[in-house]
């Protein structure tokens, strides 16, 4: 989990809500790419459509540094964390 967060760019401790959502969406963009385009396209990100976190995660997956299962796990944990942040009132 920490490895994936680090690859994606890490958390901004001053804005945990946006950081959590940003990394979560980056993870899901990479996972969706397996079905709608290709991981290679995301890693290259030539058109600049995707975030730097998506590019980093896609590149790490291509290099075998992370697996789709690790991304799924991290996405699940971050989804639960979003629920906790909402419960605690840490959103805007």
pLDDT tens by residue, 2-27 = 899 999 988 888 888 888 999 999 99
Burial 23-38 (b: 16+ CB within 10 A, else e): bbebbbbbbebeeeee
Describe the crossing of helices 52-62 and 16-36 by its angle, rounded to 10 degrees. Answer: 50
Instruction: Give the C-alpha separation, 25 to 72, whole Å.
Output: 12
Position 71 scores a pLDDT of 94
Please tell me the pTM assigned to this model: 0.81
Position 92 scores a pLDDT of 58
- 61 within 8 A of 21, measured Cβ to Cβ: no
Position 34 scores a pLDDT of 65
Q: What angle do CA 22, 24, 27 make, to 5 degrees?
A: 110
Position 1 scores a pLDDT of 81
Q: Residues in the chain with pLDDT < 50?
A: none
């Amino acid at each position: 989990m920490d490895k994936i967060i680090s690859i994606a760019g890490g958390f901004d401790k001053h804005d945990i809500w946006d950081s959590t959502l940003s990394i979560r969406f980056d993870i899901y963009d990479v996972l969706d790419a397996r079905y709608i385009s290709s991981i290679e396209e995301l890693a290259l990100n030539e058109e600049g459509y995707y975030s730097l976190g998506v590019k980093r995660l896609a590149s790490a997956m291509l290099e075998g540094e992370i697996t789709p299962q690790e991304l799924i796990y991290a996405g699940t944990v971050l989804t639960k964390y979003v629920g906790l942040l909402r419960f605690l009132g840490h959103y805007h």
